[in-house]
Amino acid sequence: MLTPEALERGKKGSDPFSARRGKKNPDPVPARKRDPTPFPGTRGTRGAENVVLVTGFEPFGGDTVNPSWEVCERLPAAIGGMRVETCRVPCEFRRAIEVVADAIERHRPSLIVSLGLAAGRTHIGVERVAINVDDARIADNAGAQPVDEPVAAGGPPAYFSTLPVKAMVATMRRAGVPAEVSNSAGTFVCNHLMYGVLHFLAARGKSARAGFVHVPSSEAMVLEKRGAPSMAVATMVRGIEAGIEAALAHAHDVRIAEGTLD
């Protein structure tokens, strides 16, 4: 397991997540500046394996299930010729990043798709950007509730997903699944993990592409919540599988309008 001490030492002698210890760390060179291709190929790049790593969260906030992990449990063993590995992530600041960083080192994936729950949403949301802010309205599962703290001290203000987010959304819709590009991953552990994974990859010079997808509440979660939106887990699985297929098929994102007016 990748411990906090291992993260602190790092392969290059720096800790990409020094915020919690108050250390100053120079900004890493963004991954895209290291490679002229906006979305590097998925096979055989810098020691990466033919692996897609999909992560999902444990339940939080009083819920007994989390559909992001239920989707992980139902994914096929392979998608688009790539082996699928899954990782269950604790809903805890910093610890979530450590667990996924450990899975990245272990599986050496070419593609990383992290999933999380966004209760209240009606569509699967493929996130465009993660910001360097933790601002928790509720405590995480370990009781931590950071307010206006950086995910990584000295890190850039934001990271954009290195997945082809618009191509993924378009493919999900063709599969009959309501999907949209989302421009806010929030400020809780989901945003924390998306930012942290992209920061980790940049700091280590890894070529893996990564991003985050929010899923709605499952039908089982809203049985006693009148008017609350939900989606069947089977539909989410179909959407995520279609999105991964699109990410593997598109070296560059498609140019279509997916902006909002609000």
Is the distance from CB of 31 to CB of 162 less than 8 angstroms? yes
Q: Which residues contact 37 (CB under 8 A, 6 or more apart)?
A: 251
Instruction: Give pLDDT, residue 92.
Output: 98
Catalytically annotated residue among 98, 190, 199, 241: 190
What totals of helices (H) and strands (E) does the chain contain, helices first?
A: 7, 9
Q: What are phi and psi of 172, to 5 degrees?
A: -60, -45
Question: How far apart (Å, rounded) are the C-alpha atoms in residues 55 and 68?
Answer: 8
pLDDT in tens, 174-210: 999 999 999 999 999 999 999 999 999 999 999 999 9
CB atoms within 10 A of CB 156: 15
- Does the annotation count 127 as an active-site position? yes
Determine the pLDDT at residue 95: 98
pLDDT band at 97 (very low <50, low <70, confident <90, very high): very high
Give me the helices (H) in 22-147, please.
Answer: 31-34, 67-74, 95-107
* 32: pLDDT strictly greater than 50: no
For residues 252 and 262, give the distance between their C-alpha atoms in angstroms, rounded to a whole number. 27
How does pLDDT run across 105-133, given as a tens digit for each residue?
999 999 999 999 999 999 999 999 999 99
- pLDDT above 80 for 30: no
pLDDT band at 4 (very low <50, low <70, confident <90, very high): very low
Phi and psi at residue 131, to the nearest 5°: -110, 155
In the predicted model, is pLDDT for residue 15 greater than 70? Answer: no
Among the ranges given (12-21, 84-93, 139-148), the one the predictor scored with the smallest mean pLDDT: 12-21
| Three-state DSSP class for residue 67 | helix
- Greater pLDDT, 12 or 30: 12
Q: CA dist 34 to 6, 177, 202, 205, 228, Å?
A: 24, 35, 9, 8, 44
**What's the whole-number average pLDDT of the chain?**
87
Q: How many CB atoms lie within 10 A of CB 33?
A: 9
Among residues 8, 9, 10, which one has the least CA distance to residue 205?
A: 10
Query: Of 70, 92, 214, 241, which one is the catalytic site residue?
Result: 214
In total, the chain counts a number of residues equal to 262
Note the pLDDT of residue 91: 98
Which pLDDT does position 36 carry in this prediction? 30
Span 223-249, pLDDT tens digits: 999 999 999 999 999 999 999 999 999
**Stretch 138-158: mean pLDDT, rounded?**
98
Residue 156, pLDDT > 90, answer: yes
What pLDDT is attached to residue 206? 95
- Which residue in 127, 180, 241, 245 is the catalytic one? 127
Residue 87: active-site member: no
The CA-based angle 197-89-247, given to 5 degrees, is 50
Residue boundaries of the structural domains of the chain? 4-25+47-249
Band (pLDDT 50/70/90 cuts) for residue 16 is: low
pLDDT the model gives residue 102 = 98
Q: How many CB atoms lie within 10 A of CB 256?
A: 10
Is CATH 3.40.630.20 correct for 4-25+47-249? yes
